[in-house]
Amino acid sequence: MSPITRSMVLWVPDWPILASLRIEPLRGEPLASGATDVPLALIEKGLVFACSAAARIEGVQRGLRIREAQARCTDLVVRPYEQQLDSRTFETVITAIEELMPGVQLVRPGIAAVRSRGPARYYGGEQPAGLALVALLEGLGIPGARVGIADGPFTAEQAARTATSAHRVRVVPEGASADFLGNLSISLLEDPALITLLRRLGISTLGDFAALPAADVLGRFGPDGAHLHALAGGLDSRPIVAHQPPDELDLVVAFEPPLDRVDQVTFGVRASADDFVQQLVAKKLVCTTLRVEIETELGDYSERSWLHPRSFTASDVVDRVRWQLQGSGEVDSGLRSSGFKSGVSAVRIVPEAVDAIGNHEVGLFGAGPDERIHNGLARVQSMLGHEGVLTPVVSGGRTLADRQKTVPWGDRPLLPRSNRLPWPGQLPLPLPATIFAAPHPVFVYGADGTETQIDERGRFSSAPARFSPATGKDSRQITAWAGPWPISERWWDAEAALDASRFQVVDDRGVAWLLVLTRRATGSSWAAEARYD
Amino acid sequence: MFEYGSMTLAAATLPEMQDEEIALAAAPADSATIIDDLQQRIRSMQATKLDSRLLPTHPALAELLPGGGLKQGAMYSVEPTGTGYGATLLLALLAGPSAAGSWCGIVGVPEFGIEAAASFGIDLDRLILVPAPGDQWLAVTAAIADVLTVVVIKPPRQASEGNLARLAARLRQRGSTLIVVGSHSAWSQSEAMLSLSQSSWSGIGDGAGHLTARQVTVTVSTRTGGRPRSARLWLPDPELQFVRVEAPPTHLRAVG
């Protein structure tokens, strides 16, 4: 068995509450006041996950339903619990501790562990080391932190939890863990099933549990039970694993003075983009999704994720930066025409998704003609912008416009609807070869010269005999027609609702058209959507 | 063998051309028509001298086109007429090369029917759309023709002869085929002009049925003169294929 590590554990009471207040302070209440005088509860899945001291005084507890918590404390402020926010804000605390003493382990947000041997020697004792940690957190604006120092992280954590606000550092002397833990409740072991069983066996303190023979506990409760038994006896053999800072793969290019031309910025990024890709390659990774963040002098901020069908090369990275700068503006112009009000002060490139390089290896004889085509089309994209070159995909849907989608070259298609589903109500084959980008309004007349209308049951006022564009010129006789084919979609959504009737008509010159009568709240109108030519 | 013959013909006509140039110097008043005439002759000789390879072309159209198919490095025009704008004919032209693995690009046609293209056998994975090339349409077309095998362009306006000649030279060098559509498609460099007439739809009645098939006459005229070739095609037939309309069998009756 490995020797027990003398550990120092930092505990910040009500960390979720503090984290929530640090990100978003309550209205009218300064951050520095500790925020303990406002009843606040964080809710997860309809139950109270954490609550502030003020709420606890009013009787709010962890595990209550929202309704009941609000009944007990009528001015309770309720917020949803966000675990990422917890972890993210605690990251700053971890970084600060690391500057003071190395080798910090993040146990969970709110609790961090350090080996106490080094700091104790540096500060001349365990008590001063603990006080240094508390003072550090006070400096960060986090009041009420407690520190426990004992053999093993479990005992040290319990020591921290039993520290009082007057004596914020509690030291359990070496070898005294079993005595310290002996009187504590069995419920501190985080295994509800085992706790229930032990209580029914008449064991209510950690000391009682630790008194059981270790071999019997192993035989009855298995390795997990044996581990908890060791914890209860103060024999926590877990080592403290130092927190590994994540690899820094971001690329940040700062411009001083700020640049206000697209080509200058892209030229500045070009050299660093090579390093960015090389750095990934050195870690045997390639980037498949990229986020480009652009900051300007006046604090404007532009952020966008870019997908790549394969993986980003250095020139691809530079292209993405250029396209984001150009936006919808003219090519090779200054930044002002593309929505930026001041010069660019920094560009940050973050790899959002990376993949092992082995999955993206180019074949022995190269990737064939695709590479050449990709380069050629990227050149056209640099002339027209990223949205200028498109690849077509067939999506799911009933109307012609729904079914055909385009994706900018170089992006992966993300289809909201599957084209594998049957989609009843589609047009019969053959499909029209010309689909107007914007439907042309037309008038359709019956044989008697009045405009053709259809009621909600699909009955005609008069059969269509003639139609003309909305300008009135170029009127055409209808020689054959079919329809109406009604389509009624998404009536529950006023924005996306569609109630229309479709017709195929053939005019006297042999051209066939798809005419659509759309009914809206303001009235119905005819339009030519497509041409069979 | 045919090409060899025409090359000797070209060599034989060379002294004649020089004679005409002398005539041009003598009579400047009529120079414009003579230049046109000469350019016409130069072009007609260039076409036959090119070592042109054919793209895999749909058989229904191949027999109508000069040389028996779409030539690499050549231009073709699909002209709109009263009976049709030729979008399906364009799809028929693209279907052959696309099915054989070529990449196709469509420049300046925002109304291109994607799903119709897929249903007529054009591979969407090898299709590129540039719906709005703007003022740079010639530069974009040239850039795309560098890398793709077949490029379709709908010119927003008439381009100058010089620009078109440069584009034609680039196409010949790269071996890409250009198909020009729309109302400004009558380019003098075109190898052949295709147009539609006498379209008749079947399957649709007076308030019943739906469009199933169309018969249409496709006419191909070449710039080197000669009689335009035309044929009656199903564009498409009820099985979404492009085939020639079979003449109704003549029933012979024994007499006497």
For residue B111, give the nearest of A437, A504, A532 by CB distance.
A437
Chain A residues lying within 8 Å of B90, measured CB to CB: 433
Closest CA to B171 of B190, B186, B192, B194: B190
Question: Is residue A412 domain-shared with residue A365, that is, in the same domain?
Answer: no
- How does residue A330 score in pLDDT terms, banded at 50, 70 and 90? very low
Tell me if A377 and B91 make a contact (CB, 8 A cut-off): no
CATH class for the region spanning B59-192: alpha beta
The full set of domain ranges for chain B reads 2-49, 59-192
**Cis before residue A430, ω within 30 degrees of 0?**
yes
State how beta strands A476-489 and B104-107 pair: unpaired
Question: Is residue A528 domain-shared with residue A489, that is, in the same domain?
Answer: yes
Question: Is residue A398 domain-shared with residue A499, that is, in the same domain?
Answer: no
Measure the CA–CA gap between A69 and A63, rounded to whole angstroms.
9
The number of folded domains in chain A is 3
Question: What tokens does B180 get?
Answer: 């020009």
User: Is position A50 within any domain?
Assistant: no
Count, residues in chain A: 533
Residue A99 has pLDDT above 90, yes or no: no
Cβ neighbours, 10 Å, residue A359: 10
Using the structure block, give the residue that is written with the tokens 């294929």.
B241
pLDDT of amino acid B21:
47
More confident call, A441 vs B223: A441
For residue A392, give the nearest of B103, B129, B209 by CB distance.
B129
Residue range A133-142, pLDDT digits in tens: 888 888 888 8
User: Is position A215 within any domain?
Assistant: no
Q: B68: left (phi > 0), else alpha (psi -120 to 50), else beta?
A: left
User: Is position A106 within any domain?
Assistant: no
Burial B220-254, CB ≥16 within 10 A → b, else e: bbbbeeeeeebeebbbbbeebbbebeeeeeeeeee
- How does residue A54 score in pLDDT terms, banded at 50, 70 and 90? confident
Residue B116 burial (10 A CB sphere; 0-12, 13-18, 19+): buried
A interface test, pick of B83, B106, B130 with most A CB neighbours within 10 Å:
B130
Question: Is residue A339 domain-shared with residue A409, that is, in the same domain?
Answer: no
Question: Is residue A395 domain-shared with residue A338, that is, in the same domain?
Answer: no
pLDDT of amino acid A187:
84
- How does residue A304 score in pLDDT terms, banded at 50, 70 and 90? confident
Written as one letter, the residue type at B48 is T
Torsions phi, psi of A84, nearest 5?
-65, -40
For residue B87, give the nearest of A388, A390, A433 by CB distance.
A433
Cβ neighbours, 10 Å, residue A229: 22
Residue range A453-512, pLDDT digits in tens: 887 777 888 888 999 888 777 888 999 999 889 898 888 888 888 888 999 999 988 889
- How does residue A513 score in pLDDT terms, banded at 50, 70 and 90? very high
Q: Output Rg (C-alpha) for chain A, integer angstroms.
A: 34
In a structure prediction context, what are the per-residue pLDDT tens digits for chain B, which is 256 residues long?
343 434 444 444 444 444 444 444 445 558 888 887 887 777 666 654 455 688 888 888 888 888 888 988 899 999 888 766 789 999 999 999 999 989 999 999 999 999 999 999 999 989 999 999 988 899 899 999 989 999 999 999 888 888 898 999 999 888 899 999 988 888 888 889 999 888 899 999 888 899 999 999 999 998 777 788 889 999 888 898 898 888 766 777 777 6
Tell me the nearest-neighbour CA distance from B115 into chain A, angstroms: 6
Contacts 24+ apart (CB under 8 A), A490-499: A498/A399
Angle at A100 between CA A96 and CA A101, to 5 degrees: 115
Are the C-beta atoms of A285 and A354 separated by less than 8 Å?
A: yes
CA closest to B240 among chain A residues: A430
Measure the CA–CA gap between A516 and A532, rounded to whole angstroms.
14
User: Is position A112 within any domain?
Assistant: no
Measure the CA–CA gap between A40 and A81, rounded to whole angstroms.
11
Q: Does the predicted interface ipTM exceed a cut of 0.85?
A: no
DSSP per residue, A402-440:
HHEEEEETTSPP--SS-SSS--TTPPPSSPPSEEEEEEE
Residue A279 belongs to domain with CATH number: 3.30.1490.100
A interface test, pick of B98, B111, B122 with most A CB neighbours within 10 Å:
B111
The overall average pLDDT reported for chain A is 83
Integer CA distances (angstroms), B63 to A499, B57, B70, B100, B161, in order: 47, 9, 10, 18, 30
- Residue-number span of the structural domain to which A312 is assigned: 251-383
Angle between helices A314-326 and A370-384 (to 10 degrees): 20
Using the structure block, give the residue that is written with the tokens 């082995």.
A358
Question: Is residue A408 domain-shared with residue A365, that is, in the same domain?
Answer: no
Question: What tokens does A427 get?
Answer: 């047009």
B interface test, pick of A328, A330, A389 with most B CB neighbours within 10 Å:
A389
pLDDT of amino acid B116:
93
pLDDT of amino acid A32:
47
Closest CA to B175 of B61, B44, B52: B52
Chain A residues lying within 8 Å of B127, measured CB to CB: 391-392
Are the C-beta atoms of A276 and A349 separated by less than 8 Å?
A: yes
